[in-house]
Chains A and B, each alone.
Chain A
Amino acid sequence: MANTPSTLTLRLNGAPEQVPVGTTVAALLERHGWLGKRVAVERNGAIVPKSAYEATILCDGDVLEIVVAVGGG
């Protein structure tokens, strides 16, 4: 997918997604209605701590998975 200079392409839960350059993890979560939900964010194989959501700026080619907490037992 070709990016305009102001966008970059991520892979989110297995599907490509274009977001504006400078998008943070917090903004991505908000865009999908996940902010404040019981989820963890995996970025390129590691969980992003919640306290880093605002400061973590996404890069072109980042692979992200939203991991929903399982609670059953």
Chain B
Amino acid sequence: MTTIPPQKSCATTTDATDLLDDAALLRYSRHILLPEIDIEGQTRIRSARVLVVGAGGLGCPAALYLARAGVGVLTVADGDTVDATNLQRQILYTESDIGRPKADAAADALRLANPDVTVTAVPHRLAQHDLDALVAASDVVLDCTDNFATRHAINRACVRHCKPLVSGAAIRFDAQLAVFDVRASASPCYHCLFPEGENVTEVRCATMGVFAPLVGVVGALQAHEALKVIVGCGEPSWGKLWLFDGLGLEWRTIRVPRDPACPVCRDRPNRVE
């Protein structure tokens, strides 16, 4: 598989000393101790711009780990407000947030978790146009949404702007995780895996139920994969779908090739070979 170098925008504009003062060297020391990250990788994290779409069960833990890991700019988009049924699993919120826009409540909690991070709240549902602008301004995008229309819209924007996408999904005790990195010519996009089609069953957490720690597992893994993309460490994860069976506690991996006739990505530019 092709190794994708980190995007230039992550690393070349600022040197390490501008981004990591003594307090930061201490705060991020357990990352810097990892040879796969080191100062260079942590500098990339500090200068990275990450977009998290959806601040629900997946988005809360994903954004929390990204904030604590020290990403430079974290944008959290969600058009919903916090309600009492969210508190079982959406770990950024407390009872006092009920009725507030999730993006605003999440941003407050993330700033408390790490004041180093520039957090931007986008407290409305994104039209394709807004999504395009936010994706274009990001180095990596996390899809933490709860509906397929938005999932396909995010994918289209990521293909158009050639941005890596870390996709997570969870319902009941089942979850799926995949990285789509269209900077690599062989990587599929989300539509190559799941073309638009009719729903098999109603699949929203709002009606089906979802096991609280499951979204923590998957949201944390989304942050994990996003940070790997930013740092450029480990094996690239694109080209695979991970399926998690939370009742049997089993992970299964399926290879996902690019669909050469995919209507979303067949004509995309191949910037990295």
Asked if A73 and B259 sit within 8 Å, CB to CB, the answer is: no
Q: Is B121 an interface residue (CB 8 A)?
A: no
B196 touching A73 by the CB < 8 A rule? no
Say whether A40 faces chain B, with CB atoms less than 8 Å apart: yes
**A22 CB to nearest chain B CB (Å):** 22
Summarize A's interface: helix, strand, loop or mixed.
mixed
Distance of A52 Cα from B195 Cα, bound (Å)? 13
* B79 contacts across to A, CB distance below 8 A: none
Q: Which of B144, B203, B204 has the most CB of A within 10 A?
A: B203
**Contact partner of A38 among B146, B170, B194, CB < 8 A?**
B194
Tell me the A28-47 residues at the B interface (CB within 8 Å): 34, 36-40, 42, 45-47
| Cβ contact of A70, chosen from B57, B170, B258, B260, cutoff 8 A | B170
Instruction: List 20 additional A-B contacts (Cβ < 8 Å) besides A72-B57, A72-B210.
Output: A37-B197, A38-B148, A38-B196, A46-B255, A46-B256, A47-B241, A49-B258, A50-B195, A69-B203, A70-B170, A70-B203, A71-B147, A71-B171, A72-B170, A72-B171, A72-B208, A73-B145, A73-B146, A73-B169, A73-B205
Question: CB within 8 Å of B: which residues of A?
Answer: 34, 36-40, 42, 45-47, 49-52, 65, 67-73
Interface positions of B (Cβ within 8 A of A): 54, 56-59, 143-148, 151, 168-171, 174-176, 192-201, 203-205, 208, 210, 215, 241, 243, 254-262
